[in-house]
Amino acid sequence: MKPHIDPKVDCVFKSILGKEENKALLIHFLNAVLSRTSGVRIQDVQILNPYNEREFESDKLSVVDIKARDDQERSYQVEIQLALHPGLTARMLYTWSTIYHDLIRKGQTFTSLQPVIAIWLLNESVFAGCHASHLPFEIMNREHGIVLSDHLQIHLLQLPDWHLQDNQQREIDRWMFLFKEGQDVDVEHPPAILHTREMTQAIHVLQHIAENEAEYLLYQQRLEALQVEETWKAELERLKEKTVRATLREAQERQGKEEAKQREEQARQREKEAKQREEQAKQREEQAKQREEQERREKERLLELLKQAGIHPNIPSDGI
């Protein structure tokens, strides 16, 4: 049984679309992507960085894209991205801008610049709330719907948001199926959606890699590099989560200690207030006794004055 080949692995991806012998596949792919947003039909392209296995052998984690120029001098960048990262959209603009910047040479005018079209095949969706599989972007004014220039075009092909439906005959659907489901396709008996000349040629590329020892070893090397990269990412994410949990626990412990300290302080304050109330009660009791003593002495003084005056009030002794 032939091993299954994942067309999303960079060396396979570039072998399908970036080899001179498969230039017809690149033309077909570009026309399939652009057919919805442009009336232009590409007849020929020049691959500016054709497939070279040495670039994969020398750098296991190299960034691999396909650069081409068509017969109307429009430039193309095609890249596959298996995992999202925080700076991905900024990188899309940056790589587009470097290509556009390099188009103009000393002595040339800005009118010599031609459109640069970037196509990103994504294994994860960029926009969680949007489930469109094909998202074209350009520079335009939202209020008036005015396009500033057609020189900037970025197309996102989101594989997770593409789903096979009955009677799908669009060429873009064939390519989306190939890249999303190609690893599990029986190359000897492919499904009906791949029964075209271009898709047959693409499947032959997968068969060649599976049958050619050198190509298959290179594929295995790239696959292992991706697995190692994903392992490191998972480990870093695990450590990050562990650090976050430890930080959260420390914060909770600090908060708990602070709350316990506050409770102790509140208890001490309540105890202090209780003592103050007790002291105040004692003071009030003492003041009451003092008033009683003063009243008793005043009565005795008044009685004594009455006696001296010869007045003897009939007051019981215990009434004093």
Q: Of the candidates 181, 196, 211, which is a domain's last residue?
A: 211
Domain that includes residue 293, residue range: 276-319
> How many domains are there within the chain?
2
Residues 203, 285 share a domain = no
In a domain, 219, yes or no: no
Q: Which parts of the chain register pLDDT below 50?
A: 319-320
**Do residues 190 and 95 both lie within one domain?**
yes
Q: Of 162, 183, 211, which closes a domain?
A: 211
48 and 188 assigned to the same domain:
yes
Residue 309, pLDDT score: 85
* Residue 20, pLDDT score: 95
Quote the Cα angle for 182-66-100, to 5°: 140
CB-based contact 115:74 (threshold 8 Å): yes
Largest CA-CA distance found in the chain, in angstroms, rounded: 146
Q: Is residue 217 part of a domain?
A: no
pLDDT of residue 320: 47
Query: Would 261 be classed as within a structural domain?
Result: no
Clarify whether residues 68 and 199 are in a common domain. Answer: yes
Q: Do 26 and 101 lie in a common domain? A: yes
Q: Are 155 and 286 in a shared domain?
A: no
Amino acid at 61: L
- Whether 246 is in a domain gets the answer no
The pLDDT value recorded for residue 227 is 83
Which pLDDT belongs to residue 85? 85
Residues 198 and 281 in one domain: no
Q: Say whether both 51 and 147 belong to one domain.
A: yes
184 and 283 in a common domain: no
Task: Answer yes or no: is 63 within a domain.
Answer: yes
In sequence order, the 6+-apart residues with CB closer than 8 A to the CB of 10 are: 56, 62, 64, 80, 222
Return left, alpha or beta for 286; rule: phi > 0 is left, psi -120 to 50 is alpha, else beta: alpha
Tell whether 302 is covered by a domain. Answer: yes
Quick one: which of 175, 176, 185 has its CA closest to 206? Answer: 185
What distance in Å separates the CA atoms of residue 174 and residue 196, rounded to the nearest whole number? 9
Residue 51's pLDDT is 85
- 307 and 188, same structural domain? no
Last residue of a domain, one of 179, 196, 211: 211
Nearest to 34 by CA among 141, 139, 150: 150
Same domain assignment for residues 37 and 134: yes
Domain shared by 180 and 306, yes or no: no
Candidates 172, 223, 202; CA nearest to 16 is: 202
The 3-state secondary structure of the chain, one letter per residue: CCCCCCCCCHHHHHHHHCCHHHHHHHHHHHHHHHCCCCCCCCCCEEECCCCCHHHHHHCCCCCCEEEEEECCCCEEEEEEECCCCCCHHHHHHHHHHHHHHHCCCCCCCHHHCCCEEEEEEECCCCCCCCCCCEEEEEEEECCCCEEEEEEEEEEEEEHHHCCCCCCCCCHHHHHHHHHHHHHHCCCCCCCHHHCCHHHHHHHHHHHHHHHCHHHHHHHHHHHHHHHHHHHHHHHHHHHHHHHHHHHHHHHHHHHHHHHHHHHHHHHHHHHHHHHHHHHHHHHHHHHHHHHHHHHHHHHHHHHHHHHHCCCCCCCCHHHC
Q: How far is CA 75 from the centre of its chain?
A: 29
Task: Identify whether 221 is part of a domain.
Answer: no
Whether 256 maps to a domain, the answer reads no
